Chain A
Amino acid sequence: MMAAVICLGSLGFVAALLLGMAARRFAVTVDPRQVALMDILAGANCGACGFPGCDAYARALVAGTAKPDLCRPGGAETLKRIATILGVAVTERPPQIAVVRCQGDLQHARLKYAYQGLQDCRAAQKLARGPKLCPAGCLGLGSCVQHCPFDALAIDSRGLAMVNRSRCTGCGLCVTICPRQVLALAPANETIHVLCNNRESSARVKSYCNAGCLGCRLCVRTAPESFVMDSFLAKVRYGYGEPSTMAEAIARCPHHCILNLDEQGNNQTLPTPHSVRERSTP
């Protein structure tokens, strides 16, 4: 009994002594600002700042080699706190959010072939440029879902990527992952978007999909301040135009590609009811 107490006691004492000495001898001095920054940063290690993880970004911030406004998931709040710690002045940048610019589900978009390979958009894209006839439509195999560090993306019942607008931080990882650039970043306070990504002419788009932008310019003619044409694809000029004229443009869009996502709740979902369109044979 006595021997056990003495033995374990002395073992513990020696261990504590060694650890205590090592802690002093091998102490690593870290800039206290770096520790404080680590607590502030989003901690998702998403890499949107261009550094491998939050730790590396914090170190670069303290060293003064990185700009303080790179943490996109953290947003304005984080930026403000980083600025306080580093003692620098910053200008806020508006928060952004990802938008899936495609409505071409299997009801609307036609297929080139039945894909049965790896369940990954980038792999599918390499096989004859993807199974969908439309070269710009969402493939729905979920590469973006797998790479989203914030669980903000999902493949919905239609087989298209869907952004959970309350979870999306606008880090932009999905935009770089998507092989067809279906996803894009847009200002978070904007709810009206053109949900098509195909710049081709109306004849081409019609042959691919019944939900694509035809380039008819109806929206531009109705609300010239709010919409611009990019080749044969309408785009929203974020931050311009009257809501009433925009609503009129939304109503006039023949393929219903302009959507006000606000009316769809928090998630980006299909407008209902969509005008019934028969799926024509390719």
Chain B
Amino acid sequence: MKSLLLIMVGAVFVNNFVLARFLGLCPFLGVSKKVETALGMGMAVTFVMVVASACTWLLQYLVLTPFNLDYLQTIAFILVIATLVQMVEMIVRKSSPVLYQSLGIFLPLITTNCAVLGLAVLNIQRNYSFVQSLVFAFGAALGFTLAMVLYAGLRERLTLCPVPRIFRGTPIELITAGLLALAFMGFAGLVPN
């Protein structure tokens, strides 16, 4: 139980996927204009990450390892994750139009996102058990959502600030992202890793 908690805290704060591992920077910079959309993206990522890590874990230990096909890991994982996301999108669209409205547009964006793939690979590299990998996935997604929402909030305020002409737009946004990452460095050492 304690180890699960450590994995969780480590994934959310210490080794935050976006701000410490620099995975998933594309949605981090792209879908963070408004807190609302950032939250929607975070929810979609949470969902995909948990489901994908469960599937890839099963694939690794039921197919790839028994047949000595570990070198196919990357391509097999991408294949499975992409299929999974596509299928989930179809099902959600049919069964819950409301959920599709709020979540649907984000799902194709994260089909083969590096954060999702990185999570699947990390699960295997660290020899996590099935439950551990699920907890790790949830923590990582939570950390991703946290970073997204914090950054979106900062960006919303930035739009109203008198920014010097040279820094307007992308430059100040990148600097802000850097400062946010620096702030998260304060968590380093909280969990031995």
Contact = CB atoms under 8 A, between A and B. Distances in A.
A4 B72 contact: yes
Contact of B80 (A7, A11, A120): A11
Interface in A65-120: 118-120
B91 A22 contact: yes
A58 B179 CA distance: 43
Interface string A11-49: 110010011001100111000000000000000000000
Interface residues of B, number: 24
B193 interface: no
Contacts of B64: 7
A26 B79 contact: no
A22 B91 CA distance: 8
A28 B94 contact: yes
A257 B67 CA distance: 83
A8 B75 contact: yes
B69 A22 contact: no
B79 A3 contact: no
Interface in B43-80: 63-64, 67-69, 71-72, 75-76, 79-80
Interface centre among B63, B72, B83, B93 (most CB of A within 10 A): B83
Interface stretch (B16-24, B121-129, B155-163): B155-163
A22 B89 CA distance: 10
Contacts of B90: 19, 22-23, 26
Nearest to A119: B162
A169 to B, nearest CB: 22
A120 B160 contact: yes
A12 B87 contact: no
Contacts of A8: 72, 75-76, 79
A11 B87 contact: no
A251 interface: no
Contacts, number: 52
A124 to B, nearest CB: 11
A146 to B, nearest CB: 7
A19 B67 contact: no
A7 B87 contact: no
Interface centre among B67, B68, B90, B94 (most CB of A within 10 A): B90
Contacts of A7: 63-64, 67, 69, 72, 76
Given A22-B90, A23-B90, A15 B79 contact: yes
B38 to A, nearest CB: 18
B83 A26 contact: no
A279 to B, nearest CB: 25
Contacts of A22: 86-87, 90-91
A19 B83 contact: yes
Shortest beta-carbon contacts, A-B, top 5 = A26-B94, A15-B83, A26-B90, A118-B160, A22-B90
Interface of B: 63-64, 67-69, 71-72, 75-76, 79-80, 82-83, 86-87, 90-91, 93-95, 159-162
Interface of A: 3-4, 7-8, 11-12, 15, 18-19, 22-23, 26-28, 118-120, 123, 146
23 contacts: A3-B69, A4-B69, A4-B71, A7-B67, A7-B69, A7-B76, A8-B72, A8-B75, A8-B76, A11-B76, A12-B79, A15-B79, A15-B80, A18-B83, A19-B86, A19-B90, A22-B87, A22-B91, A26-B90, A26-B94, A28-B93, A118-B161, A119-B161
